[in-house]
Chain A
Amino acid sequence: EPEVTQTPSHQVTQMGQEVILRCVPISNHLYFYWYRQILGQKVEFLVSFYNNEISEKSEIFDDQFSVERPDGSNFTLKIRSTKLEDSAMYFCASPSTGTSKAFFGQGTRLTVV
């Protein structure tokens, strides 16, 4: 099964610091997504990214968040000034047009202290 790779697997940061979460999606895919899951809660959509532009974003995705594809392969989610409530698992996802499945990375657990 195709893989979506995320780094780091776990990040601990102090409140107010900037963090960058990285994703290497399935090659040749144009659509990428970021989701988050607060511990024990449901998976929430953050943003979708198509052909190097944001195509849709949720209310959660406010000005402290940004996404980039800096080098054509990696896909990053930046949180500028982290808050305690940003603590969650962050998942990158990439859909497969061939199988119609959406593959999720293994996630980055972000802990803001």
Chain B
Amino acid sequence: ELKVEQNPLFLSMQEGKNYTIYCNYSTTSDRLYWYRQDPGKSLESLFVLLSNGAVKQEGRLMASLDTKARLSTLHITAAVHDLSATYFCAVEYGNKLVFGAGTILRVKS
């Protein structure tokens, strides 16, 4: 059974700083997703990574995928308060997505 591990689970950072969230998974998969969730809200699709070496960027967020290492990263550049949310990675496995536990990000001004 696929296991997906995210770390850290909680991240408090100052505005303007950079940080990286890591997502490790235990079994080969072709697709990895990153989602953002605000409190009480649904999951907003940020990135889908389809191949080894894939890198996608949107604003201050950049996601990458290393399928050989079974590792994806979500890098935050020059954080701003609006990025405060919970971030989930999810790995496609068979006919479903398996989610990590989520990283709660708090950006302090």
Stretch at the interface among B18-26, B66-74, B77-85, B90-98: B90-98
- CB–CB B99/A44 < 8 A: yes
Q: How many residues of B contact A (CB 8 A)?
A: 21
A-B pairs, 6 with minimum CB distance: A48-B95, A43-B99, A56-B95, A45-B96, A104-B43, A101-B45
Interface residues on A, range: 20 to 34
A81 at the interface (CB under 8 A from B): no
Chain A positions 59-109 with a Cβ under 8 Å from a chain B Cβ: 91, 93, 99-107, 109
Return chain A residues, CB-CB under 8 Å to B100.
42
B65 within 8 A of partner (CB): no
Chain A residue contacts of B99, Cβ below 8 A = 42-44
Q: Is the CB of A91 within 8 A of B42?
A: yes
Are A50 and B97 CB-contacts (below 8 A) given A42-B102, A43-B43, A104-B42? no
The SS class assigned to the A binding surface is strand
Residues of B within 8 A of A100 (CB): 31, 48, 50
Given A100-B50, A102-B33, A45 contacting B43 (CB threshold 8 A): no
List the count of A-B residue pairs having beta carbons below 8 Å apart. Answer: 53
Chain B residues near A14: list those with CB within 8 A.
none
Query: Contacts A42-B102, A100-B31, A102-B33: A107 and B42 contacting too (C-beta < 8 A)?
Result: yes
The answer to whether A42 and B88 have CB atoms under 8 Å apart is: yes
Interface contact A102-B101, CB-CB below 8 Å: no
Collect the chain A residues with CB atoms within 8 Å of residue B102's CB. 42
**Cα(A92)–Cα(B25), bound, Å:** 24
State whether A56 and B96 are in contact (beta carbons under 8 Å apart), knowing that A100-B50, A102-B33 are contacts in the complex: yes
